[in-house]
Structure 1
């Protein structure tokens, strides 16, 4: 599973680089950046936490920190 997540991560990073080089629309860039964030959370979730919910939530908050202000306006 970890290998598969890393393959997807590499694919999205490559797609983002190509999209930036081609000057794709901002919405495309934003979508790819969010996908990278989602994949980071996925990879983090695969790490052994051994029942430490506080560490798990802290890692999730760290990954989502930039998104949290945007969510409050929804």
Structure 2
């Protein structure tokens, strides 16, 4: 896989993947990224329903709310 990095805008890198696509890569240490992550985390953790929906979306929980087999369920 060939990865070419170029600095772009404030703290972000434009990365070219092996398939030729360009994506923007951010670091968790960047203040604006940390702020976005904190806000998203607060949104997800606002209720057990939003937390369950997120965990189902990323494959940790099944649709019935049980732990998926990948994670020991």
Calculate the TM-score normalised by the size of structure 2: 0.30
Instruction: Pick 1 or 2: higher relative contact order, CA cutoff 8 A, min separation 6.
Output: 1
Q: From the two aligned structures, give the one with the greater strand fraction.
A: 2
Structure having the higher Rg: 2
TM-score relative to the length of structure 1: 0.30
